[in-house]
Chains A and B, each alone.
Chain A
Amino acid sequence: MTLDPSVYQDLLLSLLPELVLTGWAMALLLFVAWRHQTVRDLRIAGWLTLAGLVATSVAIWWLWWNHAGVAGLAGMIAVDDFRWVADWVFLGAAALTVLISFAYLEREQLLAPEYYVLLVFGTLGMMVMAAGADLMVIFLGLELMSVAVYVLAGFDRRRARSAEAALKYFLLGAFASGFLLYGIALVYGATGTTNIGLIGAQASFMAQPSLMLLAGLALLIVGFGFKIAAVPFHMWAPDVYDGAPTPVTAFMATGVKAAAFAALFRVMIQGFANIPAWHDILWWLAVVTMIGGNLFALGQRSLKRMLAYSSVAHAGYLLVAVAAGTAAGTSAFLVYVVAYTLMSVGAFAVLSAKGRAGESDVAIDDLAGLAGRRPWLAFALAICMLSLLGFPGTAGFIGKWYILIAATSTGQNALAAILVLTSVVSAGYYLPVIMAMYMKPEPIEAAHVDVVLDRWGRTAVAAAVAGLLIFGVWPNRLFDLAKSAGDSVQPAATTTAFPP
């Protein structure tokens, strides 16, 4: 199915998933304006959200099944497999977040169904980011996502930590948006367009990239660096992840990060393929992020902060895939981000079951003896930790292996070596979690009696763990999907060039 963006119907079709989700978000907003008092209303809002996410993914599936694509010149919206797969990741992350939110919101007395509306709008923003073939569209999506997530981070408004998280995230996020916007402006000044494909075509005509273009590129990387929490732009991440309600943290660590990376991939590979300067910048960014994230995480006692820093470290691994700059790197990113979403949500879900009144106080040692009391939860968390560590048999290993192949196939052996060496460091903070659960005795009798997940939280964790194990042993289908998605993001120079 070939769509022509200049035709009205085709444009609507190519935006079908976003339109479905927008319509659903509006309807949901009306619903919660009408019913927002009781726990039951909250539940209904949650189920409606899930239904909306499913409906959207069905719409995406329909477009994917019919091989939707655009004819002719790149428009504002990309219609390719990369977008669909990325969208599925965001929707999956959002759905898992909803499942672990049910019990959490009730327990923490956060009885405001707007939570789910914000979640839907955040997801919508991510989808727009992944769809953007134009820097302006990406910026639009980024803002839509960020504003929703700023509010979500401060959703537990009675707690100072949560408010601090929201404010910090907002201030630094706004700052980052400024960088990004300035970068877009400079790139526009240098090339006369904000369309990513045309930027790529323009850049291929330049014998020497102009200073303005390079400055714009640098500012773009800084802006994205903030969003993906790459060292040295990661300062906000631990505090925000720590302060936000745990399901929101899971959503930020997976969906928000995946969306920022998806946009980064498209901009770098389609727009700046002919400017090799960014390879070096991202190379260093990846190295510093991997080393920094892992070393900082090593010093954490609190489980939630440890997971926050580990998410910085994983951003570093993903940057290795970006630095590879090939279709294999893009595919590796998609595989890795699927694995990362599953393992992070699983870990945060177990953490939310353990925590009471703010999970930031749960130290790793507080998990001591959990395996004796709650064997299945402990098993799930152990699988998530091993997957985060990149241990064979789990999806985390498959993702890491893919990134290593992508990096070494472009000759980046040093980067691959740094990746695995920093992974060894990460054993120093993932293993203590397993060690505490299985090898230390319960500090007091009945220390973990109140650690329970409700039915839906258990469903989410079970789904995550099953996914980790299945993709860890049998990733063939995931690979096929990721491969076609990775191949669909090609440098602009190979498409028809467009004279200025």
Chain B
Amino acid sequence: MYARWVLTVLLAWPLIAGLVVLLLPARLAKYAALGASLIEFALSVPLWWQFVPATGMQFIVDRAWIQAWGIHYTVGLDGISLFLVLLTTFLMPLSILGSWSYVTKHESAFYALLLVLTTGMIGVFVALDLFLFYVMWEVMLIPMYFIIGVWGGENRLYAAIKFFIYTFFGSLLMLVAIIVLYLHAGRVTGIYSFGYVHILSQVKLLGPSAWWLFAAFFLAFAIKVPLFPLHTWLPDAHVEAPTAGSVILAGILLKMGTYGFLRFALPFFPEVALHQNVQLLIVALALIGIIYGGLVAMVQPDFKKLIAYSSVAHLGFVMLGIWALTLQSVQGALLVMINHGISTGALFFLAGMIYERRHSRLIAAYGGIARVVPLFAAILTIVSLSSIALPGTNGFVGEFLVLVGSFRTYPIATALATTGVIVAAAYLLTALQRVIFNPLTSPENETLTDLTPRELAVLVPLLVCILWVGVYPKPFLHRMEPAARQLIEQIRPGSTAAQPLSGGQP
């Protein structure tokens, strides 16, 4: 039974709850929103056990929606989307709880938008109908646009419209590509349907038009990831967004791009994606992202901007892992996606918490606060170490798998990417030192208060995940392996046979 309704309820519940929260008075809204998101999380937790790794797509629901075009409401889950859905439902209550003191105006609207956003994000990850996918992909833009634009920092209007237009630009070309694919599959089979499986079965005969279609999908997803020259919306959006907005942007929205590559761009157009020049281009862009992102992060005076550029670098690893297409590298990429959501989310939370106390994001404004706020300093240290992939934390497992897996396919690129890890250590450890160690120079910092129980409640679940994935990643790898294997088999037939990694640890 659970399998029949769970995804639909996960989609509908936040939407309904959001509308209710919108009508509640501000002082109740935050409790109601937290309750709603906790219920959402509780509903999603059984997915972890109910999910059968070997079965492929499951929890499928399929209903006719707009018959005239063969549009269905089709949702389902596999080993790739499972973790992204769980990450979403996991981060939402934390984001809501983390905003309680940060958001002080129009609170009902803020929490309502966060809940509506949840529907959009889960929708993107579970949609198995291209129309539904596109609708969800766009729908989540509006809440985020408002979250940045209404509750953001000083430069919020610019950041909001830049975020919107970049994403909109990419996705509209994807829209045309989706329609072309739909008509192609319809002409070949006589059945006009936007169903994912239907279209996937008919993409072999696209011929040269596959290049243009791939380019359209590539643009939409690459902007979202973001790949190197298309990343300029990201620092603005991340910095200006309120804490919860930054956490969700980094934690979940960016994963939509990489998810799109895994789910659509690669399986639909394997010949184009694996063409030598395309490989070269994407691996080069990923590498530039890793190293350039790290180098730019190193010189940021603003802590949030530093985290934003570190995201560019992390997502570079994900892209490298995806394109390397070995079992380890794809699993590693999936794991980096999750880890980045946890670690960067935690970093943004911490940046927001210190900002609320001191109203400055500048690294130079701090220094020596470890003595004043020991708890904050300890957690920031752990999270930073996980972000630079110290062994024993989640970051290490993911990046190590990506590097080991990619080395077989792209030895030189992987060697260069490894330097990215060093760069990461350079910028994060320097920043860490300047914020919490060094002499305590500014008198304003002497009166900072340490983390409150509410803030600890936000951070402790993230810390638990950091250590859990870092020490015992097998449950994760075990669940994603069949899906990753199937994906690789689909794109590059016959290449996974020689790579046994059955739920193994690095």
Inter-subunit contact A393/B139 (CB<8 Å): yes
- Which of B153-161, B344-352, B446-454 forms contacts with chain A? B153-161
Q: Does A69 contact B (CB under 8 A)?
A: no
Inter-subunit contact A435/B149 (CB<8 Å): yes
Inter-subunit contact B168/A424 (CB<8 Å): yes
Q: Does B274 contact A (CB under 8 A)?
A: no
Residues of chain A contacted by B165 (CB below 8 angstroms)? 424, 427-428, 431
Kindly identify which residue among A424, A438, A480 contacts B68, using a CB–CB cutoff of 8 Å. Answer: A480
Q: Does B104 contact A (CB under 8 A)?
A: no
Q: Does A413 contact B (CB under 8 A)?
A: yes
A-contact bits for B169-182, CB 8 A (1 contact / 0 none):
10011011001101
B-contact bits for A469-488, CB 8 A (1 contact / 0 none):
00000011001100100000
Residues of chain B contacted by A423 (CB below 8 angstroms)? 172
A272 to B394, CA, bound (A): 67
Measured between C-beta atoms, what is the minimum distance from B171 to chain A in Å? 9
Inter-subunit contact B168/A413 (CB<8 Å): no
A-B contact count (CB 8 A): 75
Inter-subunit contact A408/B172 (CB<8 Å): no
Q: Does B13 contact A (CB under 8 A)?
A: no
Evaluate whether A392 and B183 lie within 8 angstroms (CB atoms) in the complex, with A420-B173, A439-B150 already known.
no
Q: Does B302 contact A (CB under 8 A)?
A: no
Measured between C-beta atoms, what is the minimum distance from B191 to chain A in Å? 15
A423 to B165, CA, bound (A): 10
Inter-subunit contact B180/A408 (CB<8 Å): yes
Evaluate whether A479 and B139 lie within 8 angstroms (CB atoms) in the complex, with A405-B179, A408-B183, A431-B164 already known.
no
Inter-subunit contact B183/A409 (CB<8 Å): yes
Kindly identify which residue among A393, A409, A435, A483 contacts B157, using a CB–CB cutoff of 8 Å. Answer: A435
Q: Does A347 contact B (CB under 8 A)?
A: no
Inter-subunit contact B179/A416 (CB<8 Å): yes
Residues of chain A contacted by B176 (CB below 8 angstroms)? 404, 408, 413, 416-417, 420
Inter-subunit contact A479/B180 (CB<8 Å): no
Measured between C-beta atoms, what is the minimum distance from A105 to chain B in Å? 35
Residues of chain B contacted by A479 (CB below 8 angstroms)? 66, 68-69
Most buried by B among A417, A480, A483: A417
By size class, the interface of chain A is 20 to 34
Kindly identify which residue among B160, B172, B175, B179 contacts A439, using a CB–CB cutoff of 8 Å. Answer: B160
Q: Does B138 contact A (CB under 8 A)?
A: yes
Inter-subunit contact B172/A421 (CB<8 Å): yes
By size class, the interface of chain B is 20 to 34
Inter-subunit contact A431/B161 (CB<8 Å): yes
Measured between C-beta atoms, what is the minimum distance from B5 to chain A in Å? 20
Evaluate whether A424 and B172 lie within 8 angstroms (CB atoms) in the complex, with A431-B164, A438-B146 already known.
yes
Q: Does B67 contact A (CB under 8 A)?
A: yes
Q: In the complex, which residue of chain B has the Cβ closest to the Cβ of A422?
A: B172
Q: In the complex, which residue of chain B has the Cβ closest to the Cβ of A406?
A: B179
Q: In the complex, which residue of chain B has the Cβ closest to the Cβ of A480?
A: B68
Residues of chain A contacted by B150 (CB below 8 angstroms)? 438-439
A431 to B135, CA, bound (A): 19
Kindly identify which residue among A416, A424, A475 contacts B169, using a CB–CB cutoff of 8 Å. Answer: A424
A483 to B165, CA, bound (A): 33
Q: Does A391 contact B (CB under 8 A)?
A: yes
Residues of chain B contacted by A431 (CB below 8 angstroms)? 145, 161, 164-165
Inter-subunit contact A392/B66 (CB<8 Å): no
A102 to B136, CA, bound (A): 40
Residues of chain A contacted by B145 (CB below 8 angstroms)? 431
A-contact bits for B64-102, CB 8 A (1 contact / 0 none):
001111000000000000000000000000000000000
Q: Does B134 contact A (CB under 8 A)?
A: yes
A428 to B157, CA, bound (A): 12
Q: Does A386 contact B (CB under 8 A)?
A: yes
Inter-subunit contact A408/B66 (CB<8 Å): no
Measured between C-beta atoms, what is the minimum distance from B247 to chain A in Å? 21
A-contact bits for B129-155, CB 8 A (1 contact / 0 none):
000001100110010011001100000
Measured between C-beta atoms, what is the minimum distance from B302 to chain A in Å? 22
Inter-subunit contact A476/B183 (CB<8 Å): no
Residues of chain A contacted by B139 (CB below 8 angstroms)? 392-393
Interchain Cβ contacts under 8 Å between A and B, 17 examples:
A391-B142, A392-B138, A405-B69, A405-B183, A408-B176, A420-B172, A420-B175, A421-B172, A424-B172, A427-B161, A427-B165, A427-B168, A428-B161, A428-B165, A438-B149, A475-B66, A480-B68
Which are the 6 A-B pairs with shortest beta-carbon distances?
A420-B172, A392-B135, A479-B68, A439-B149, A392-B138, A424-B169
Other than A404-B175, A405-B69, A435-B160, give 9 A-B pairs with Cβ distance below 8 A: A404-B179, A424-B165, A427-B164, A428-B161, A431-B145, A431-B164, A439-B150, A440-B157, A479-B66
